[in-house]
Structure 1
Amino acid sequence: MEEFLRILTQALAELVAPSTAAYALAAIGLNLHFGYTGLLNMGQAGFMLLGAYGFGIATIAGAPFLVALLVAIAAGTVFALLLGIPTLKLRGDYLAIVTISAAEIIRWLGRSTVFQEWTGGASGLLGNSFKHTFHELSFLPDGRTAVGPLEYINTGSDSWWTRLFAWGLVLLALLFVWLLTRSPWGRVLKGIREDEDAVRALGKNVFAYKLQALVIGGALGSLAGVLYVLPRAITPDSMGRTMTFFVWTVLLLGGAATLFGPVLGSMLFFSLYMLMRTGMRAGLGDVIGGTQVEQLGGMLVGVTLMLLVIFRPQGILGNKRELAFNVR
């Protein structure tokens, strides 16, 4: 019974974890790309890694917290412009190839010894070198606080302050996207997703709208990268292809082209994923090792994503009549 309660507590903790909020924010940005505009961005992890590096390097250089956040946003914006300008006039599959390749280039540049002075190479940047400005903003008292079965320090890497800030930023992003998608600009995006030739025939600059969506979604992805590294160090290998794969799973699970789909998908996915992994460790720990449990968990996630796309491509909250997968 105690083991069962421990597993449930770990799954519950994932619902409010900073990493869950980071994936939710990254999926909100990807939702602007894919759900609302029909852009196949397969390199959201690249935006997240650039945002994390921009924030970390700027903080280490002496920038205050808000300036470091702006640097992270600027890094994602420049990355989106570099990717979008040469590719958005082509079909969507070219963008998918470019983004996944560019994200891998960013990861390998982060690992490279050429930029080790700034990025730390394969070892990355230690958390205590760039988190102090964030911790100084905390208004919570010293000590620990328990809320039900969850207990964390008030201020620190894995703390209530980190959770409050992360989910507060997610709420602000939801409000921002809600305002955008209900504006005339947002309605043009949906038109591009459905039939960009018809939108072009109405005199709209489809390329400009696509580029704007790519930049805004990329900036949100960069902020998600900042949230992801607040409880940990910045390591390039932690933001690779698997991260993009998880962001897509979160988005498709909750429902693309929906406001709350990315948040619901992130909370469900990571709580169930934790429940599955801890359950398999408890039940199969004597049969297979921890590495095999992680590999089996990854396989089950892949199967889940396949089943989602086949049987419920609109996700939990999505509308199948609205969402078309025949993106250009």
Structure 2
Amino acid sequence: MDWGAIFSNTAAWMLSPTTIAYAIAATGLAVHFGYAGLLNFGMAGFMAIGAYSYAISILSFGLPWWVGILVGMVMSTVFAFILGIPTLRLRADYLAIATIAAAEIVRLLFTSTAFEEHTNAADGLGGYHAGFRAANPFPEGTYGFGPWTFNANQLWVRVFGLLVLAVCVYLVWALMRSPWGRVLKGIREDEDAVRSLGKNVFSYKMQALVIGGIMGGLGGAVFALPSAVVPASYTTSLTFFLWTILLLGGAATVFGPALGALIFWVIMAFLEGVLPSLAAEGILPMSAIQAATLRFVIVGVALMLLVIFRPQGLLGNKRELTFVK
């Protein structure tokens, strides 16, 4: 077993664009669920809209890359309104079902041949990187050390993603310390009591859905920066990964989603390297492909144990969340 390669690959995931993108989207999910109490299972839809809006803006309309980012934010806002107006008055379990369905509708629309001219249907989109790479402030060369060695374009993707994550984390920190954030927490705990004080609960929920949705769209755009936009990447499993990340780090915390994304992808990368190697050496009675799939089972069991024994997550406060009282 090549432990050097396994640890090197695992460490590389600590600063991967995927880890950063999931941290951004999970921060938005923290606004939805951790602070507003919205059981949103459709974050994959927001990420898909952010990624496709970015790519289509560049490929179909010739817009600059940074305008594509803004278009993704606008379209995420529009999707939040379309999703929120008919669903935010639903009970939590019905809201979860409705948001799952909405995310699947979005993915199927991007897969459909009806919009193939712009979405390229199931094949997805690529070749939109020139503008972003042209804005790279780093000269050509190699940066970093060990498993964190990047060329200029790879470094630029990571730096930009970390900047977006920092802005999102700061925004959540500032909002939740404000009177608006305190009202939002009150809605999470007892929306009838907040409504009795004359607050427009629906309006606050919609604002939270929009803010968290924009962060989801930004996560989708960062996710698409280094590679391509493929509809198969935005299935319900993406949303479930985000929920795992959120619960791991702490739902009602500022830094929990970022920590959860880091730990989640490091563990997934480590198991992806170790389990097939154990199967190849005959230690595990299964094929390498089956062993690689086993990591999802292990992570699922770990999530169950986490919810049972530490439902507030690694950084959370148990008193923060109603469902753990």
TM-score for both structures, normalised by structure 2:
0.96
Q: CA deviation at 1:41?
A: 0.3
SS at structure 2 position matched to 1:152: strand
Partner of 1:260: 255
CA distance in structure 2 between the aligned counterparts of 1:289 and 1:109, rounded to whole angstroms: 36
Query: Is the 2:311–2:324 contact (alpha carbons within 8 Å) kept by the matching residues of 1?
Result: no
Change (3 A) 1:52 1:290: farther
User: Gapped runs of 5+ residues in structure 1?
Assistant: none
Q: CA deviation at 1:149?
A: 3.5
- Partner AA of 2:100 in structure 1: I
Partner of 2:74: 74
1:204-223 equivalent positions in 2, closer than 5 A: 204-223=199-218
Q: CA deviation at 1:131?
A: 1.4
- Partner AA of 2:55 in structure 1: G
CA distance in structure 2 between the aligned counterparts of 1:305 and 1:190, rounded to whole angstroms: 25
Q: CA deviation at 1:147?
A: 2.0
CA distance in structure 2 between the aligned counterparts of 1:285 and 1:27, rounded to whole angstroms: 35
RMSD: 1.4
- Partner AA of 1:54 in structure 2: S
Partner of 1:40: 39
Q: 1:260-290 CA deviation, whole Å, 9 max, x = no partner? A: 0000000011011101110112221355444
Partner of 2:95: 95
Q: CA deviation at 1:306?
A: 1.5
2:244 is matched with which residue: 237, 243, 249?
A: 249
CA distance in structure 2 between the aligned counterparts of 1:51 and 1:149, rounded to whole angstroms: 29
Q: How many residues align?
A: 321
Partner of 2:184: 189
SS at structure 1 position matched to 2:149: strand
**Sequence identity (%):** 51
SS at structure 2 position matched to 1:115: helix
Partner of 2:17: 18
Deviates more, 1:87-96 or 1:68-77: 87-96
Query: Is the 2:9–2:147 contact (alpha carbons within 8 Å) kept by the matching residues of 1?
Result: no
CA distance in structure 2 between the aligned counterparts of 1:11 and 1:149, rounded to whole angstroms: 9
Q: CA deviation at 1:90?
A: 2.1
CA distance in structure 1 between the aligned counterparts of 2:222 and 2:288, rounded to whole angstroms: 27
Structure ranking higher in helix proportion = 2
Q: CA deviation at 1:46?
A: 0.6
SS at structure 1 position matched to 2:150: strand
Q: 1:195-229 CA deviation, whole Å, 9 max, x = no partner? A: 00110011000000000000110010000000111
Query: Is the 2:275–2:288 contact (alpha carbons within 8 Å) kept by the matching residues of 1?
Result: no
CA distance in structure 2 between the aligned counterparts of 1:143 and 1:83, rounded to whole angstroms: 45
- Partner AA of 1:266 in structure 2: A
1:283-302 equivalent positions in 2, closer than 5 A: 283-285=278-280, 288-302=286-300
1:229-244 equivalent positions in 2, closer than 5 A: 229-244=224-239
CA distance in structure 2 between the aligned counterparts of 1:226 and 1:244, rounded to whole angstroms: 16
2:311 is matched with which residue: 307, 310, 313?
A: 313
Deviates more, 1:252-261 or 1:63-72: 63-72
CA distance in structure 2 between the aligned counterparts of 1:83 and 1:221, rounded to whole angstroms: 14
CA distance in structure 1 between the aligned counterparts of 2:67 and 2:225, rounded to whole angstroms: 16
SS at structure 1 position matched to 2:318: coil
CA distance in structure 1 between the aligned counterparts of 2:103 and 2:291, rounded to whole angstroms: 27
Q: 1:158-193 CA deviation, whole Å, 9 max, x = no partner? A: x11111111111011111111111110000000000
Q: 1:24-69 CA deviation, whole Å, 9 max, x = no partner? A: 0000000000000000000100100011000000011211122111
Query: Is the 2:122–2:230 contact (alpha carbons within 8 Å) kept by the matching residues of 1?
Result: yes
Q: 1:83-109 CA deviation, whole Å, 9 max, x = no partner? A: 111111221222111110011111111
